[in-house]
Structure 1
Amino acid sequence: MEVVSSGVASLEIPGYQILKKINQGGMSTVYLATQRSMGRQVALKVMSPVLNADPIFSERFQREANIVGQLSHPNIVAIHDIGRYRSLNYIAMDYLPGGSVADALTRGAIEPLEALHITRQIAMALDHASNKGYVHRDLKPENILFREDGSAVLTDFGVARAVARTTRMTSTGMVVGTPHYMSPEQARGAAVDGRADLYSLGVVLYEMLTSAVPYQAEEAVAIAIKHLTDPIPRLPARHSLYQGLIDRFLAKDPDQRYQRGLDVVDAIDQLLAALEGKPPGNATKLNNTSVRVSSLLRALLMTLYGTLCDRLSAAWARWRDKPLHQQNPRAEQQTIMRFQQVLQQNTPSKRRSWRLAMVISAAAVVTLIIWGKNPQWSATTTSRTATESAESVAHSPADTALAIQEDSPATGASANLIQPALREETGEPISASPPITKPGGPTENIADSTPAPASKPKPISAPVSEQAPATFSLLVSVKPDDARIRIMNIVPRYTPGIALEPGRYDIEVSKPGYSTVRRWIEISTADINLAVELERKYFPGRTFQSPLRSGGRGPEMVVISPGSFTMGNNQRPFTSPEHKISINKPYAIGAQEITFNDYDRFAKASGRALPSDENWGRGTRPVVNISWQDAQRYASWLSEESGQKYRLASEAEWEYAARAGTTTPFWWGDGSAKGKANCRRGCASEFNTLFTTSTAPVGNYKANEFGLYDTAGNVGEWVQDCFLGDFTNHRGDARPVQLKNCELRVVRGGSMREPLRNISSDYRTGLSEQASSKEVGFRLVMEL
């Protein structure tokens, strides 16, 4: 039994080792815990003691476990245990370390194909729940979590209910759900079925594509009214291909929506097949529609329509001197290129050749229009090119006069065409003037004008002059001083005190090794001084997991700050003499030993035999029976999968992290080792008895001050160095000792079969790099 402080009182849950708090809400708190009977990590959801007296909340909490217990599906969170202890209700369920869709949205919109895959998986989960007779009623980004392999999982069935029956928790007219994701029938308090969940899923898809919810207002009631009455919102032009999905998802009338989750799966599968240039597959049910070339043409025309609307809106905003938020131009370009790729991948057909020609022609037209209309792409047009183009265009005096008298809002190349034509007609001298750059727009050349000779007819009654608009300076002060500063929506490069016209500017400050800062600022009537301090991407104590190319994430790593310490122990063989070590740069080391889950994935991907677990269990137990060479191969594979540099730690790096700033043999000082390590004698470990000895799941015991688990006992750990009998020839830095024809490699930390004295931070021994042992595993370092 473990006792964990919860702030007000201590929490005791028999059978569970509680490691840390994961999340806390108004109704419950979720802890990361180890289920002792199974040796696996779980998310332990404990109901708030304050709510235990309320039978309604208790019923809701218990019902969640009962419902999920009946729903066995890979995309629905699994329940492992449910219980009550000392008036505390708790549920043990899958631990999902990949974060939520809400977490992903904090970094911006999700890539469209990834959003479709997430939607597809949750649609299958909803279909399964609906077939079992349950409606979720509170589907939102916070309730969609990710496993280590990246698959999406639906959670939090706390307000779910059976369609065919009611409970005292709900009554007619009672509104349940989250306003931004609530279906119209939920907003009215009417009866709901699985189609209400599909509406909420459509809202989530819209948010994943745009990073904004479709209906926004200050009050919950106003949001609900918009769900009931406002038209279905349009996606940005670059996402027009997915508008059909959104229209079906967000139909006000449930009969007009997708009727079940498998209908959503069919629609997404057909769309993905068309995008990949594959023939449409068989529908999962009765839906046998497919995305044909004509459908792509319609989507392309929608993209063209949306783009033209965006450009007209932008021109109107510029004419009214109101800055408009600029979308990423590359996104539209990628949409067009994707259409072209689809067409190139399709098998040619004489019967459809005219359709392909139409699509390709339309794609070319859209590309030309976007290229010509996008301010950032056309900003490199020089005044000389514009002037030459103007000379090839015939302008009548009447047309020129009309353009001037109406104060045309033409910008970019169009403005450059009008002015040289006017000078040619009126005979006005052309003088060079410095270019003036408008935010988000191209460079214009403004020339002085003089009246034409009296003998020549003039199309206008008075000379026209244009005054340069007022400008204000922008000064960005950054830390560190050598960070890169860019203004993303104009052509000129940033220089300290750059003069800019009133408008909105997209400022980016970046430096390798630091988190990029990007923000919009508005210049109106005064100079702007902006101070930006970048945060180190890998600050000391930060934990992270690298995403892998094949899906999922790598082992959890902890960032260790540079420092110095005394390595070794003069009172021990093999560890003398004590010597000073300086570590000059930060590094990340595994918070835990590499587990069977981690290693088995590598073994299966590389076709290697799975190492024996000695019948202790796999999963989150540390991998054993692997050689030093096997550990090196795993590190190389992980580096390729993540794009980062992973390797075994050097002895100095390992001992510095294991000591965690202490000078005593054990990181916990001279106190008892109980609850801190798994060893043979002196640790009082439940995994070591008189007749049996086994490893413990990683993270089962307390972490040291640096956040590292199991640096003492459990399994010994391979490190990079070649084993020498002492430290006589060791250097004063963190580099590993390497010798030619090295036969023995260093093992640090001791194992579960060692006595307490042999699991200290300075303990070391040697083992052949080709040997494997049930007492030896490893953890990795990632270079920063």
Structure 2
Amino acid sequence: MEVVSSGIASLEIPGYQILKKINQGGMSTVYLATQRSMGRQVALKVMSPVLNADPIFSERFQREANIVGQLSHPNIVAIHDIGRYRSLNYIAMDYLPGGSVADALTKGAIEPLEALHITRQIAMALDHASNKGYVHRDLKPENILFREDGSAVLTDFGVARAVARTTRMTNTGMVVGTPHYMSPEQARGAAVDGRADLYSLGVVFYEMLTSAVPYQAEEAVAIAIKHLTDPIPRLPARHSLYQGLIDRFLAKDPEQRFQRGLDVVDTIDQLLAALDGKTPAPTTKLNNTSVRVSSLLRALVMTLYGTMTDRLSAAWARLRDKPLHQQNTRSEQQTIMRFQQVMQHTAPVKKRSWVFAGMLAVSFCLAWVLFSLFSNKFQWRTESGLVNNAVDMTSQALLPTGDGSSAAQIAPGNALPGPLQPVPLADTGSVANQVRPVLRQPATSAGSGEDAEAIATAPAVLDRGETESAETEVATDTADVDNTEVAAAEVAQPVISTYALTVSAVPADARIRIMNIVPRYSPGIALEPGRYDVEVSKPGYSTVRRWVEVSGADVNLAVQLERKFFPGKSFQSPLKDGGNGPEMVVVSPGSFTMGNNARPFTSPEHKITIRRPYAIGVHEVTFNDYDRYAKASGQGLPGDQGWGRGTRPVINVSWQEAQEYAQWLSEQTGHRYRLASEAEWEYAARADSDTPFWWGNSSARGKANCRRGCASEFNSLFSISSAPVGHYKANDFGLYDTAGNAGEWVQDCFLGDFTNHRSDARPVQLKNCDLRVVRGGSMREPLRNISSDYRTGLNEKARSKEVGFRLVMEL
């Protein structure tokens, strides 16, 4: 089993300072690094030693990567450097910190408009690549990443193509691509062009809308067959407006799909214009599809129709005590598609004919509902006959030809994991030579009737064509094989060895999944020899995903997850509209003594226990942060007193306006932001110190911006101004400017002392509270008023040139 260390101490590549590992897959490991010559951060992809050991791959990978480096497009990841050092091939490319579409889908379906924009950008990238003669062939959510501004970027372009064309692994029948996103021509091993990528993009678009892929099955082969034979799936009724896009994307025949990426762009632009209420721009020669009010009306009619028929069918199935899935869904799907096509090609109707047309449409819908109900009731023989014929044809396609040639053979070898796995057998003419799933349970008693029937009907090939490929060798046949011969083949099938895989995870309650097989993981799961994609995850921890090779012995894998938000970790949450939120740092739970008996408003001292970690702003919120919100929400820009904006702390913002900014930031990031409570603020400002200042009893010179006692360069006898955030040293928790510079709003109502104090970090909230607490002192305060315990009150509607705020993010 190949093991790639997660450490970076032993990895050295000239010209780069490697900072940390970002991700690891079966072919490569990606590191965050600094390119010393340019001083920029890059993602450094280092190829797996298994591939580096192949001199043919190493040589042609360099040439292929150089060609891919010529693809210059805003929505294709930029390659900055390609090289080889001590038998390690590497590529330096853009560092994209915004996550992937796959990451976004873990939170559920993506909003339709956002999905349209992502699809539009990737379509432009594919059009550019296709014009250069390149086909991606592995487009999936994991390969669509986001820049800091939220724009979508296509990655891993050309690497899959280089593998398919340059390594000896091609000869083992390895399928290039991921089963759920393969085009029909990829599944059958035929030649592909840019339209195959557009099919994969359509699958991704469908998944963004529904959070599920369109074709699902337990085996990779079955998924491929569905791509080849199943009808184009229907979107839920609420998304029926986008069914036309899905129909064009997922057409089985490439000639009926979008022909290039710009066709997709034109269609989406027309749809977006219609949704915005604008007059659609004239269609170009690349696309003659336009979206008018009539199209939207048809979508509404189809939405109502789909919802009504679904509910009536479900109710009728319940009354008949019959499962809904026994209906002939394929015939119903085709009828609905024909109905949509008829409506889409209907000539425009004059206004005086709307009433008649509406009555006609309603009558047609009712007639179709009655027809569906009666057809289900009488169970037409022709329908069942069609189903039986379809099963027979599928079974025949899986069996060997009459002359003894195999219907689906894939050569064994050292194939990387893919949707198909070969099984070498001596008898090339038997059913036992069919393609098997990656994982199988131990064989049951040979020759049983149930086993023979299962093999006779099991899908094992991808197409009826005569096309053969170095990537996937697939053939079909229509010869009939009776169950007696199948049973005999089953008896001759040898027993395949399996080995146990045990994953030991820390923490022990982490979720363990094997991503490229269907059966769920259980400790000691029996697996056949091969490579398995193991994922270990838990909320609040960073997910670990790696390839494990099972070969000749049981495998024990130990995985320790790292906390996603560990104490001291700093991060920025990406915004929906582009850019990032304020920088935050994680503070661990703890206890401290709050208050000071020696000064007014801060007594009595009392112990506070903070039981949960939280993240707090590394700096006060800056003008850059707040101005982005103000422009997005149409708010007025606060004044800066002539001191400058940019990275200076925002001032002249009331407590209520600070709350509104926190709410907007929560909506933009998906995390909950709020003002800190007094206890949270003081605990973070003290940074485990028990003195009035986090720096102890030493001089404050050069440590804060205050009026007297700090020797600040931003304060003189005749002028006072704020300092840019981060100008002075941070405390031991990594927080800047908790003393001086700008006072900071917190959640609590202001009371004269801590007589009625709590023992936890909850804020003090009272009805009809006008005064809110301000912490930390300001640039106009003397040294004694910028200590960690200092507090004062200010009306929540007041704006002050001395007061800003910083936020907390709940973990």
TM-score, L = length of structure 2: 0.52
Summarize the alignment of residues 585-664 of structure 1 with structure 2, pairs less than 5 Å apart. 588-590=614-616, 592-593=618-619, 594=621, 598-602=625-629, 604-605=631-632, 606=634, 623-624=647-648, 626-627=650-651, 629=653, 633=657, 636-640=660-664, 642=666, 646-649=673-676, 652-657=679-684, 662=688
- TM-superposed deviation, 1:236: 4.3
Identity across the alignment (%) = 55
Does the Cα contact within 8 Å between 1:108 and 1:211 map onto a contact in 2? yes
- TM-superposed deviation, 1:140: 0.6
Deviations 1:713-765 (A, max 9, x none): 9998845499x9x9999966655999x99999654899xxxxxxxx9x95989
Deviations 1:482-501 (A, max 9, x none): xxxxxxxxxxxxxxxxxxxx
1:754 aligns to what? none
What secondary structure is seen at the aligned counterpart in 2 of 1:601? helix
Query: Matched residues in 2 for 1:31 and 1:595: separation?
Result: 31
Summarize the alignment of residues 338-417 of structure 1 with structure 2, pairs less than 5 Å apart. 351-355=350-354, 358-359=357-358, 362=361
1:226 aligns to what? 226
Summarize the alignment of residues 77-116 of structure 1 with structure 2, pairs less than 5 Å apart. 77-79=77-79, 87=88, 89=90, 91-97=92-98, 99-116=99-116
Query: Matched residues in 2 for 1:311 and 1:274: separation?
Result: 32
Query: Matched residues in 2 for 1:295 and 1:38: separation?
Result: 52
Does the Cα contact within 8 Å between 2:96 and 2:146 map onto a contact in 1? no
> Are residues 305 and 601 of structure 1, via their aligned partners in 2, closer, same or farther at CA, if it must alter by over 3 Å?
closer
2:197 aligns to what? 197
Summarize the alignment of residues 447-596 of structure 1 with structure 2, pairs less than 5 Å apart. 554-555=581-582, 564-567=591-594, 579-582=605-608, 588-590=614-616, 592-593=618-619, 594=621
Summarize the alignment of residues 320-331 of structure 1 with structure 2, pairs less than 5 Å apart. 320-322=321-323
Does the Cα contact within 8 Å between 1:232 and 1:247 map onto a contact in 2? no
Does the Cα contact within 8 Å between 2:685 and 2:694 map onto a contact in 1? no
- TM-superposed deviation, 1:158: 4.9
Structure 2 counterpart of 1:565, one-letter code = F
Query: Matched residues in 1 for 2:32 and 2:368: separation?
Result: 54
Deviations 1:206-262 (A, max 9, x none): 2233333233334334433433x3133331461444333222212233222111111
Does the Cα contact within 8 Å between 2:586 and 2:613 map onto a contact in 1? yes
Query: Matched residues in 1 for 2:184 and 2:652: separation?
Result: 61
Structure 1 counterpart of 2:651, one-letter code = S
2:313 aligns to what? 312
- TM-superposed deviation, 1:93: 1.7
Structure 2 counterpart of 1:67, one-letter code = V
Q: How many residues get paired?
A: 558
1:175 aligns to what? 175
> Are residues 211 and 311 of structure 1, via their aligned partners in 2, closer, same or farther at CA, if it must alter by over 3 Å?
farther
> Are residues 241 and 609 of structure 1, via their aligned partners in 2, closer, same or farther at CA, if it must alter by over 3 Å?
closer
> Are residues 608 and 124 of structure 1, via their aligned partners in 2, closer, same or farther at CA, if it must alter by over 3 Å?
farther
Query: Matched residues in 2 for 1:112 and 1:636: separation?
Result: 27
Query: Matched residues in 2 for 1:564 and 1:179: separation?
Result: 53
Query: Matched residues in 2 for 1:727 and 1:78: separation?
Result: 59
Structure 1 counterpart of 2:102, one-letter code = A
Does the Cα contact within 8 Å between 1:632 and 1:648 map onto a contact in 2? no
- TM-superposed deviation, 1:72: 2.6
Say if 2:808 is the partner of 1:781.
yes
Summarize the alignment of residues 29-44 of structure 1 with structure 2, pairs less than 5 Å apart. 29-31=29-31, 43-44=43-44
Query: Matched residues in 1 for 2:740 and 2:602: separation?
Result: 25
> Are residues 210 and 640 of structure 1, via their aligned partners in 2, closer, same or farther at CA, if it must alter by over 3 Å?
closer
- TM-superposed deviation, 1:126: 1.6
Query: Matched residues in 2 for 1:736 and 1:712: separation?
Result: 21
> Are residues 590 and 88 of structure 1, via their aligned partners in 2, closer, same or farther at CA, if it must alter by over 3 Å?
farther
Say if 2:172 is the partner of 1:145.
no
> Are residues 298 and 745 of structure 1, via their aligned partners in 2, closer, same or farther at CA, if it must alter by over 3 Å?
closer
Structure 2 counterpart of 1:316, one-letter code = A
- TM-superposed deviation, 1:95: 2.6
Does the Cα contact within 8 Å between 1:262 and 1:285 map onto a contact in 2? no
- TM-superposed deviation, 1:7: 4.1
What secondary structure is seen at the aligned counterpart in 2 of 1:781? strand
- TM-superposed deviation, 1:154: 2.1
Query: Matched residues in 1 for 2:268 and 2:810: separation?
Result: 40
> Are residues 58 and 224 of structure 1, via their aligned partners in 2, closer, same or farther at CA, if it must alter by over 3 Å?
farther
Structure 2 counterpart of 1:261, one-letter code = G
Structure 2 counterpart of 1:203, one-letter code = V
> Are residues 186 and 149 of structure 1, via their aligned partners in 2, closer, same or farther at CA, if it must alter by over 3 Å?
same
- TM-superposed deviation, 1:290: 1.5
> Are residues 313 and 216 of structure 1, via their aligned partners in 2, closer, same or farther at CA, if it must alter by over 3 Å?
same
Deviations 1:389-409 (A, max 9, x none): xxxxxxxxxxxxxx9xxxxxx
Does the Cα contact within 8 Å between 2:317 and 2:324 map onto a contact in 1? no
- TM-superposed deviation, 1:137: 1.5
Does the Cα contact within 8 Å between 2:18 and 2:33 map onto a contact in 1? yes
Question: More displaced, 145-154 or 541-550?
Answer: 541-550
Does the Cα contact within 8 Å between 2:248 and 2:258 map onto a contact in 1? yes
Query: Matched residues in 2 for 1:15 and 1:611: separation?
Result: 45
Query: Matched residues in 2 for 1:151 and 1:168: separation?
Result: 34
Structure 2 counterpart of 1:629, one-letter code = V
Does the Cα contact within 8 Å between 2:270 and 2:291 map onto a contact in 1? yes
Query: Matched residues in 2 for 1:576 and 1:258: separation?
Result: 70
- TM-superposed deviation, 1:198: 0.2
Query: Matched residues in 2 for 1:184 and 1:653: separation?
Result: 57
What secondary structure is seen at the aligned counterpart in 1 of 2:159? coil
Does the Cα contact within 8 Å between 2:649 and 2:742 map onto a contact in 1? no
Q: Which has the higher contact order (CA 8 A, sep 6+)?
A: 2
Say if 2:120 is the partner of 1:120.
yes
Query: Matched residues in 1 for 2:13 and 2:655: separation?
Result: 37
What secondary structure is seen at the aligned counterpart in 2 of 1:216? coil
> Are residues 174 and 154 of structure 1, via their aligned partners in 2, closer, same or farther at CA, if it must alter by over 3 Å?
same
> Are residues 634 and 712 of structure 1, via their aligned partners in 2, closer, same or farther at CA, if it must alter by over 3 Å?
closer
1:187 aligns to what? 187
What secondary structure is seen at the aligned counterpart in 2 of 1:70? coil
Gapped runs of 5+ residues in structure 2? Answer: 327-339, 341-347, 378-537, 542-561, 566-570, 697-701, 705-722, 780-785
- TM-superposed deviation, 1:607: 7.4
- TM-superposed deviation, 1:127: 1.8
Does the Cα contact within 8 Å between 2:195 and 2:257 map onto a contact in 1? yes
Structure 2 counterpart of 1:351, one-letter code = K
1:72 aligns to what? 73
- TM-superposed deviation, 1:144: 2.0
What secondary structure is seen at the aligned counterpart in 2 of 1:189? coil
Structure 2 counterpart of 1:249, one-letter code = F
Query: Matched residues in 1 for 2:13 and 2:574: separation?
Result: 33
TM-score, L = length of structure 1: 0.53
Query: Matched residues in 2 for 1:302 and 1:541: separation?
Result: 45
> Are residues 49 and 746 of structure 1, via their aligned partners in 2, closer, same or farther at CA, if it must alter by over 3 Å?
farther
State the Cα RMSD in Å: 6.4
Does the Cα contact within 8 Å between 2:77 and 2:93 map onto a contact in 1? no
Does the Cα contact within 8 Å between 1:28 and 1:47 map onto a contact in 2? yes
Structure 2 counterpart of 1:184, one-letter code = P
Gapped runs of 5+ residues in structure 1? Answer: 326-338, 340-348, 375-402, 404-534, 671-677, 681-692, 751-758
Structure 2 counterpart of 1:566, one-letter code = T
What secondary structure is seen at the aligned counterpart in 2 of 1:138? coil
